[in-house]
Amino acid sequence: MPRPGKNSYSDQKPPYSYISLTAMAIQNSSDKMLPLSDIYKFIMDRFPYYRENTQRWQNSLRHNLSFNDCFIKIPRRPDQPGKGSFWALHPDCGDMFENGSFLRRRKRFKVLRAEHMACKTSPMMHYFHHHHHHHPGSVGRLPHFQSYGGITCTQPGGFKHPFAIENIIGRDYKGVVAGGLPLTSVMHHLGYPVPPQLSSVVNSMWPHVGVLSESMSGVPVPAPSSEYAPFSVSAKGLYHSASGPTLPAIPVPIKPTPSLGPMPGLTGMQTGPTQLCSAPTADTIVTPASEQIIEMHQWRRCVGVKN
């Protein structure tokens, strides 16, 4: 099997399903979300095979985006005019692939219907729903993100998103919250101000990630190393170097914790609907950051701020 280097596939059909290709494109983007046109572009740039018969595969790709719950549609903000929505990976879609095969998943990713409305609309709100189910007493105080080596926690289970850069390029990739979305990017996308103290922390801890642009944060950001340039993802990470050039390296994902159970440090949480509408305060901004994002998100919803 050929290596998926930048131009290595020539006209061969790549050994990846449309789901894989789409996930790669999304995961490879700085914001972990892409409009449809950019997903097309990513695939055509990387795989010459898809420069032909565009109607056919693009139709299939759109079908996959709509049909598969592992993809989340994120509406554009009013100040981001353009056609179509952004597409991101569902936070919980990590356990899809098996044995390194991108052609076939072990099982189709499905979200519970009760969650579906929320998570298809917003991965952030999905987290609220998801974790609220697991922590009925935690209304208002949002859960720790256990997934994806999030900024708020490290996790014993070690689940990593199969398309996370961490998996793809085999290096630590932190500063990421729900669905592999970079914390600060999500905040930026949702229209929240990115606190300089948070952005500087993220950028100092994970400069190679390059998720936070200077324009977003006001804080100078080192340019990402060329080693992390977009296509090095596929070239470096899709195949094990140790096991030879034939085996994709990403998957064999570690299963996400099925039931998160009580989280240490979640005692004494405030409950009740009033907490949902409490505005974020300045002193909360540097506490577990992903929680604060969602709290802000909820607060914005409560006060009628539309995204």
State which amino acid sits at residue 30: S
Asked if 29 touches DNA (CB under 7 A), the answer is no
By rule CB under 7 A, what string of x and - marks binding of each residue 92-121 to DNA?
----x----x-xxx-xx-------------
Asked if 206 touches DNA (CB under 7 A), the answer is no
Number of residues near DNA (by CB under 7 A): 34
Asked if 82 touches DNA (CB under 7 A), the answer is yes
Buried b vs exposed e over 135-158: b needs ≥16 C-beta within 10 Å?
beebbbbbbbbbbbbbbbbebeee
Asked if 18 touches DNA (CB under 7 A), the answer is yes
Residues 5, 62, 232, 269: which binds DNA (CB under 7 A)?
62
Residues 9, 40, 159, 192: which binds DNA (CB under 7 A)?
40
Nearest distance, CB of residue 44 and DNA, angstroms: 12
Buried b vs exposed e over 31-54: b needs ≥16 C-beta within 10 Å?
bbbbbbebbbebbbebbebbeeee
Asked if 135 touches DNA (CB under 7 A), the answer is no
Nearest distance, CB of residue 60 and DNA, angstroms: 3
Task: Specify the residue, 95 or 166, whose C-beta has the smaller distance to DNA.
Answer: 95
180 neighbors 74 (Cβ within 8 angstroms): no
Nearest distance, CB of residue 167 and DNA, angstroms: 17
Task: Specify the residue, 107 or 133, whose C-beta has the smaller distance to DNA.
Answer: 107
Instruction: Name the one range near DNA by CB under 7 A: 81-89, 195-203, 219-227, 235-243.
Output: 81-89
Asked if 301 touches DNA (CB under 7 A), the answer is no
Residues 12, 60, 204, 274: which binds DNA (CB under 7 A)?
60
Task: Specify the residue, 95 or 295, whose C-beta has the smaller distance to DNA.
Answer: 95
Asked if 12 touches DNA (CB under 7 A), the answer is no
Rg (CA), the chain: 19
Residues 30, 48, 73, 170: which binds DNA (CB under 7 A)?
73
Instruction: Report which of 98, 153, 147 is spatially closest to residue 123, judged by C-alpha positions.
Output: 147
**Cα(271)–Cα(122) distance, integer angstroms:** 22
First to last CA, the chain: 45
Residues 8, 30, 85, 275: which binds DNA (CB under 7 A)?
85
Binding residues vs DNA (CB under 7 A): 16-19, 35-37, 40, 53, 56-57, 59-60, 62-68, 73, 81-85, 87, 96, 101, 103-105, 107-108
